[in-house]
Amino acid sequence: MARKRNHPGSTRQVYPRRLRGIRTKRGWTQKRLAEELDRIAFPMNRATIAKIESGKRPMEVSELVALATALDVTPAALFLPLDPGSVALTDGVTVDAATAATWVAGDAPLDAANAATYALESPKVHLELAMRMRSSGTVTPGPGRERGQ
């Protein structure tokens, strides 16, 4: 099977544009973003940000989370396209953007046949469980668990 590495809606094509777009919308330079990453204890220099934004360097999951935290956006904002077209999640899985968004949000599986197992691992299910445990006194937030600490 031929690989579609250059699909214009693939996540590897989208995240450099989305990162640059979100950063510039805030009026931030790459240096300013590097300073914010430093502030949240995830050092990344301006040159690395430039390589990620140009697509010359892949972004690791930990970097995706740190960049989303620094920019205060959902991680999905950095890799899902804004247009209503399709997105290639992998070289072999392409879905429409709305399907990808509901999947990432924890609202629906990519394949309806996986609904039961998907629901068990949905971020919303985990959040609801955590909230129930917290309200029942089973779990309390530990020190340093709040954002920015």
Hey, what amino acid is at 47?
Answer: A
Domains belonging to the chain, first-starting first, are 1-105 (1.10.260.40), 108-149 (no CATH)
**Structure confidence by residue, pLDDT tens digits, 51-92:** 999 999 999 999 999 999 999 999 999 999 888 888 899 888
Of 21, 127, 2, whose CA–CA distance to 71 is shortest? 21
Phi, psi dihedrals of residue 81, rounded to the nearest 5° = -70, 155
pLDDT of residue 11: 86
Instruction: Kindly give the pairing relationship between strand 93-96 and strand 86-90.
Output: antiparallel
Query: pTM value?
Result: 0.77
pLDDT of residue 124: 76
pLDDT of residue 8: 56
Tokens read off for 78: 């950095």
User: Which of 23-27, 50-54, 61-65, 104-108 shows the lowest per-residue confidence on average (mean pLDDT)?
Assistant: 104-108
Residue 120 has pLDDT above 60, yes or no: yes
User: Which of 18-27, 77-86, 125-134 shows the lowest per-residue confidence on average (mean pLDDT)?
Assistant: 125-134
Exposed e or buried b for every residue in 25-34, given b needs 16+ CB within 10 A? eeebebeebb
Cα–Cα separations (whole angstroms), residue 77 to 19, 68, 100, 104: 8, 8, 12, 10
Cα–Cα separations (whole angstroms), residue 9 to 16, 28, 89, 104, 139: 12, 25, 9, 16, 41
